[in-house]
Amino acid sequence: MISAEDALVRLKEGNVRFRAGESQHIEIDAIVRAQMVPEQTPFAIILGCSDSRVPAELVFGQGIGDLFVIRVAGNIVAPSQIGSIEFAAEKFGTRLVVVLGHSKCGAVEATIQELAQTTENRSPNLSAIVDRIQPSIESLIGSEADSNPEKLLESAVRANIQASVDNLKHGSGILEFLVANHDLIITGAEYCLESGTVEFFE
């Protein structure tokens, strides 16, 4: 398995290809499928948003078998996401986790609206998503960014990504152990819908 640093470079290079319209298109035929049957060796784990405009494999210019992708609205961290990441990190030895948020995230926007005014008759399932985003952006309400709705959403998206990174780093004994032993890097990144650019936080 490649190092986290090399995996990060591979993702960045793939995003450059994507933005240039040079993404690799892999023909998926019976031979390729047969090669994937015995095992998978994803070089990165992506916890991304379910937004249909942000498919991780395309955004990072990767193909079948390259990424272990978990998608959920608002790229939130809940037990099932943590368990999926623990599984991939331990089972496949994958050394990089990227929390991939994106500009104009609808789940984050819904949370801002919820904080501004409680929405009646909201689905309890949707509330479960909003409730996980809320703590990371509450401090932004009433701040300087709050006077500009667009700026507020931008700041909230980044705060939510960072909160998910922190939750992964400190919400699992298994992941904490791997990070402490330099066997895993967990980082955040934001995809810009307009430009197609992925900006990594660190």
Domain of residue 114, CATH code: 3.40.1050.10
Measured at the CA of 179, the angle between CA 45 and CA 42, to 5 degrees, comes to 20
Asked if residue 101 lies in contact with residue 111, where contact means CB atoms within 8 angstroms, the answer is no
Structural domain count of the chain: 1
* d(C-alpha 46, C-alpha 34), whole Å: 24
- Strands, E, within the chain: which ranges? 44-48, 67-71, 96-102, 185-191, 198-200
Q: Would you say the pTM of this structure is higher than 0.95?
A: no
Encode pLDDT of 32-56 as tens digits: 777 778 889 999 999 999 999 999 9
CA diameter of the chain: 57
Query: What pLDDT is recorded for position 55?
Result: 96
* d(C-alpha 7, C-alpha 43), whole Å: 6
Non-local (6+) Cβ contacts of 26 within 8 A are 32, 63, 64
Nearest to 191 by CA among 183, 182, 201, 176: 201
* d(C-alpha 201, C-alpha 158), whole Å: 9
Cα-flanking dihedrals φ and ψ of residue 113, to 5°? -65, -40
Non-local (6+) Cβ contacts of 119 within 8 A are 113
The residue behind tokens 């400190």 is 170
Q: List the domain range (segments joined by +) for residue 105.
A: 4-200
Encode pLDDT of 131-170 as tens digits: 999 999 988 887 766 678 899 999 999 999 999 999 999 9
Percentage of the chain lying above the pLDDT 90 cut:
71
Q: What is the mean pLDDT of residues 123-130?
A: 84
Q: Which two tokens stand for residue 191?
A: 């995809």
